[in-house]
Amino acid sequence: MTHSSQPLRIVFMGTPGFAATCLERLLESPHQIVGIVTAPDRPAGRGRSLRSSEVKVVAEKHGLPLAQPEKLKSSEFLATIETWAPDLGVVVAFRMLPEVVWNFPRLGTVNLHGSLLPQYRGAAPIHWAVLNGESVSGATTFLLQHKIDTGHVLGRVEVPIGPDDTTGELHDRILDAGKNLLVESVDALASGVAKAISQQSLLPEGDTLKEAPKLFKEHGRIDWGKSAQDVHNLVRGLNPFPGAWTTMPDGSTLRIHQSHMSGADFGGQPGTVHLSKDQLSVQCGEGAIAILRLQPQGKPTMDVKPFLNGLRSPLRILGS
């Protein structure tokens, strides 16, 4: 920690694995986690048995005080926050907080976001950076305020994106960089040297803001009339979730998990399949992609070779 400072009393709020990893990193710091807020247990799996969030698993492992409120404005939950007496709130991948919660700690509440704010505000920042073919993304820490994802920035760290990187791969690299950025920002607040910068000042002149709204299954439908680059970005941007998909001639769904730019342009109708040895290429509106891993409806994910070996009739065109 820089300068002389006292460890902060932190209430941590988060739910999925991304947040759990950040919590583990904070637990390695000198700061004190005085309480954990996470989602209530939810039914999951075929048996619909109750499942704890990954943040709850970490909290119980370390014996940390835990709250799982259905309503964040309930008097019982607000009384719990008050008894914890936090200096700072830290929120990672959690639902929207009411002001009475994020403004309660004396230093406010810090959020870790998976993009270089102000770009890609919203629920799926890592996905959209890949979907849009960006070459760089990163993580940002900022102080919460009324409008979501708009608070003053404490720190940013850049993470490169390769031409074939998937959202899953970028997620892991952003998490690795972001968890350390989070601790650095908390340290800076503790020592009084943190400088909060407006997001507007970080947007280069002439740049337009790109949003990152929540993704649904329909986002994954492949339009073969788009360029090969756009289709490739869709495949890797929706890997591992929610997945890019197209339809087979019989109407069944075919999920595409991995592709690469083939470098060819066969011409003709978009969606036309071209086979050569063990390679399956599909013509797009401009250029073509080669499909490497896919998943026929009702079957497991497989490489393209066993898929081709199992075809009962020639595959000529894929639908959009």
Q: What are the distances in angstroms from CA 193 to CA 1, 29, 187, 188, 220?
A: 11, 17, 9, 5, 44
d(CA 114, CA 66): 25
Do 224 and 184 belong to one domain?
no
Tens-digit pLDDT profile for residues 147-159: 999 999 999 999 9
Domain boundary among 202, 230, 250: 202
Do 187 and 85 belong to one domain?
yes
Do 47 and 118 belong to one domain?
yes
Per the domain annotation, does 3 fall within a domain?
Answer: no
Do 186 and 235 belong to one domain?
no
d(CA 55, CA 94): 10
User: What pLDDT was estimated at residue 84?
Assistant: 98
Q: Which domain holds residue 174?
A: 9-202
User: What pLDDT was estimated at residue 15?
Assistant: 97
Amino acid at 40: P
Per the domain annotation, does 207 fall within a domain?
Answer: no
The count of domains in the chain is: 2
Do 236 and 103 belong to one domain?
no
Which CATH number does the domain housing residue 128 bear? 3.40.50.170
Low-confidence ranges of the chain (pLDDT < 50): 1-2
User: What pLDDT was estimated at residue 47?
Assistant: 80
Do 247 and 186 belong to one domain?
no
Q: Which of 145, 155, 138, 139 is nearest to 195 (CA)?
A: 155
User: What pLDDT was estimated at residue 4?
Assistant: 53
Do 222 and 184 belong to one domain?
no
Per the domain annotation, does 316 fall within a domain?
Answer: no
Domain boundary among 147, 179, 202: 202
Do 91 and 196 belong to one domain?
yes
Instruction: Report pTM.
Output: 0.94
